[in-house]
Structures are given as structure tokens and as C-alpha cells.
Structure 1
Amino acid sequence: MKLKSFVAGIALAASLTSTASQAETVLKLGTVAPLSSPWGQWAQGVADQIAEMSGGELKIEVIGDAQLGDEQTILRQGMKGRVDLVMVSNIPLSLIGQELDLVSSPFLYDSTEQGSCVAFNHLSEILGPSLQDSGLEPLTWMEVGNYLVFSQEPARTPDALEGQKVRVAATTADELFARRLGAVGVPMGTSDTIPALQTGNVKAAFLPGVFGIAIGTHKVAPHVTVSNHTRLIGTVAVSGRSYKKLSDQEKEWLSAFTEGGTGLSATILGAETALLGQLEGAGVPVAHLTDEEAAAWRAASDGLREELAEQLGPKAVSILEQIEAAKQACGS
């Protein structure tokens, strides 16, 4: 009898272990962001929060440092269900639909506060259908930060870039704005930017502040203009295929990403200010624009987003109308 009881106990323990193992859900999140970066640390922080809230029933494995490929590759994997969650910048979103380039339009918002309000209170409703049609369920909009101009000569006003080759992202909005400035926009990935500046293939670069400073762009293009001409966002989204398999409780736990989006935004925007201060303290020429200089940059974008929307088609025109309505709702 004792032997039978012992065997039965082992069988019960094995059964319970198997049940616990089956109850645990592990989702993989892919991003190019280094795990040591503010984006990587934020993603891991949310993953830890979800693990704690769920008692270990839902775990997020953050795979950073571009281990799963570049952003376009990661986005495609998410759309196909090969990666459960994706965390990507604005750049690859045109793979879903070129109309998503609209959110990268220069001077789209009247203020930082308005841009944050639109991004976190309205953008999921406006752009969510495009992501859902592509097989992704948006969880939050990811702050990438404001564009700065890194140049080898001072560029306080846009006419300083006339005739110059300027690194831009591979977006229709960036290329169109470069043409408006009379510059030659050269689309290239971020990994190619430093070598291009070193060899003189480009004389300036548009880059988000935190990233541009972190990779040392100011060392090869030492004039930094705080143009803040574009507010860049990305997304954290879950693959539709993975999302359908989750329980209602697991979906609720994933909302930690949604709730944490504004915190990441505050971190990135605060880091921009701090890093610019560090550059100034180190003697790097940082140009904070006068009202007149800022107006010249803004004037260069007059009518650009309407032109871009018309160029991209009816869907883009509708999205722009919705963004403008959201701006009105948010105020200036």
C-alpha cells in the first residue's frame, strides 16, 4: 500500500507540474533597440511588470539588439505571426501602408502637449485599422523623439542646407521635406549615417535626438540644430495570430504596454533635453532657434502634409482629416 501511495503521489505531482507548465504563456518581443537603451529598459520593465501581475502565467521575452533582424524584418515577422510582439519605429510602418508616413510629417503638431495627446488618446483609433488589416494589434505608440539636424557647418535656418546632401529616413515625408529645403535628401539606414558623414557623402543628417547623440553623430557633424521639425513615433503591437490565442485575462495583462506608453514618452523627451545640455557643457555648438529662425523652418513645411496626403491617395487624405480633428480636440 505504501508503494502504491508513493507512486500515486509521483503521478499527481507530475500531473500538477504538467498543468502549471501548460498554463504558462511566453511571448517573444522583437526590437532593434539595445537592451541597455531607454527603449530596451522600458520594454524589459513592462515585461517584468506583466510577469509579476500574472504570477508568472504570462511572460514576455524581450529580444533586443536587432537579434531578429532589422526593423522591416521584425515587422514582417510580426505580421506573419512568427514574432508575438514587435517594437518598431516609424520608419518601417510604410510597409503596412504608405499613408502611415503622414505621422512623420514635419511640424504636424502645434506643441509637444498636442502631439502627446493625439498619439496616446486618438492615434490607435485613427491608425489601428491599418495595423489590424496587416495582422497587428496596436498596444501603444512608442516615442522615438524629435528630429535634430546634425551638420558639418552651422544650419540655424533651412537655407543653410540648400544644395547640400542630407541624410534622411526612407520615408516619403522626409524626402519631400528635403526637397522643400532645396537639399538633396539621401535615404539611408542609421548604421550607414556615420560613415557617410565621415566620407562627405552627406553633409548633414536628420536624426532623432536621443539616438543621434547616443551614436556620436555630433562627433562627425558637430553643429547641432534643435529644429524639432518632426516628432517621430513608432508602435508596440502584438501579432494578430498570437492575440487571438490569448485569454481575456492575458490580453488584460498586456495592457501594461498601453498604460506605460506615456511613461516612455516622458523618459525620451526628458533625455533629449538632458543630452543636449551635456553637449553644450562639452562645448558642442547647439543652436536653439530664435522665434524668427523657428518660423523659417516651419514655413518650409507649409502645405506639405496636404500635398503628401494627396500624393498617397484617398486613404491618406481621410487619415489626415482625422488627425486634424484630433488636434482640434486636444487643443494647442
Structure 2
Amino acid sequence: MRILTIVGARPQFIKAAEVGRALAAAGLEEILVHTGQHFDAAMSDVFFADLCMPPPAHNLYIHGGGNASMTGRMLQALEPLLDREKPDWVLVYGDTNSTLAGALAAAHRGIPVAHVEAGLRSFNRAMPEELNRVMTDHLSTLLLCPTPAAVANLQREGIAAGVYHVGDVMYASALSLAGRARRTSTVLDRLGVHDSGFSLATVHRAENTNDSGRLASILAYLRDAAAEEKVPIILPLHPRTRDAAARFGLDLGGLTVLAPVGALDMARLLAGCTRVFTDSGGVQKEAYFHGKPCITLRDETEWVETIENGWNRLWRGPGYRPRRPIADYGDGQAASRIAALLAGGAG
């Protein structure tokens, strides 16, 4: 059986590394396609190295432009590739333009789609990510949900066939990376900080970077938090955020800004920080995996269980709820369950 996996962004590399090992263990052939959505070496090449992933079989080198343009160019490149490779399944992850392009290309060719992280909803259709995940779910044959809430979201939309609660793919990967990072990463030494002596922030969502007033408010909020906590806030700066700050003339002073970091350095920062500020869905979960309280720099989150169980709160919302373990993410065996479902032709 041939599985064609489509990735394009940093969080997808982490998930695909974990699932790829499980696919190989199950005797399935994987053809890895990188759309090129994240093309900077610090946001792509270093992740493949850190995650011990083989290089992609195909790199489409497609990035830049608006969401519709990027998705259209990816779709145009993927369709003939699918004709040549003739996979039994197309496997996509998350909610990026690469995700939707992969699902659309497969659907046009009559190839079943398996969607990892199916069923997540922020219920904010102004977010490109929400549109991508909703459309991908409705194109998919196999819907691989990380939580019971995701299963319930699909049921409300009339999707019941091919839906499985497999757990969260990033759980095992996050713990494995944390162990390797403690042994090998030197990022804390390079920054001159120590464990529990800093907080960590990431900002990259279009809703935050396309609006000068909103981005200015977030940067001011982070500066105030750094002053209040009396510890530095480390901000690995996404290229989109860097360009937006320059375009809007916004000051990044008061924050410890550095270039994007690889998977191991990011794991070390998460393990060592006291608190996490982020607009990333993946980092919200990773904060929990590392036992760190999180503040989400958005007005909603698709990872509602992190708020319900007291590990996360919205920056403009109420305070933390009482803290409890989150059982919904499973036992770290999500990748093996996904491989077994694909091997069995589920859906």
C-alpha cells in the first residue's frame, strides 16, 4: 500500500515524522511531498534534520502570495504528481493551505483522503485555518480526531462514517523531543538564560500579523508581562511577524527576539520556560505536554480542553480554571493507530 503524505509547515513536519515511523513499522510505503509553504531553512530544513526525517521525495517549492493563489498553485502541481505516483491514500495534516490543496487534489482524482487532526473547530470562519480544516474534513474518507470534542464537532456537521478518535499525534513526539533536547540543545546557553528564568512567546497567525493595531496590542501585552514577571520573554520571530512589524513600524523592544528555531531548540525552550504566550494551536498543546501554563493570543481556540482543564486561557478572557490532567489526548499511541487504520483500509 502506498501512502502519499503532503506537508508544508513546521507543525506538520513534527506530526509526519511520528506517523512516518509508524507507517514504516506497519510495512506501508510512504511518499513524502513538501509543498514548500514553509521554505526558509530555519523553518524547514532544520526540522527534517532535528526530527531525523528522510528528505521529501518531492518538493514543490510553492510559497508566497495570498491564500487562494498559493492553494491554487499547489493544486495545479499536485494533480499530475498524484497521476504519476498512484497512491492508495493521500494523508494530510492540520489546517494549512497545503492541507486543503492536498485534499482537493486527491478528491479530484478519486483518491481517498486521511486527515490527521480532523474535527477541530474555532468557529471563526474569518480564519483561513478554519476554512481549510472544515473543507478538508468534508473531503476526507478517514477522519483521525485528536479528541472526543473533535468527534462531536464532526457529528454536528453530519459526518459520522470513517471518524476515529485516535488521540494526539504530537504527544509522544513532544516527550521524545524534550529528552533529546535536554541532551543536545544549547539554546539556553546561547541566550544566557536558565531553566525557570524566562517565558516563551510565538506570534504568527494572519489575524494577528495583518492588523497593525492588533499586533501592536500583542507586543505591548508581552512587554507588560515581561516587566510584571521580571523575566525575559523570548520571541522566536516568524518571518511573517518580522515583516509585519517592519511594515507597520512596530517596536520589538522589551522582548528577547531571535531567529526561528528548530524542533530541538523549541522543545528545550518549552521545557525550560515558566509560561507560554502563543497564537499557535500546536504550541498550546505542547505547553500542556511540558506542564507549562499558556496564554493564547487569540479570541478563541480550537483546543478547548486546554482551557476547560485549566492549562490555558485567552489573553482577553477570564483567568485560569482549576487545573486538571487532560485525558483527551490519549496515551501517545496515536501514530500507531493511524498506521493500523490505513493498513486495514478503514473508512
User: Given the two structures, how large is their TM-score scaled by the length of structure 2?
Assistant: 0.30
State the TM-score, normalized to the length of structure 1.
Answer: 0.31
Larger relative contact order (CA 8 Å, sep ≥ 6): 1
The structure richer in helix per residue is: 1
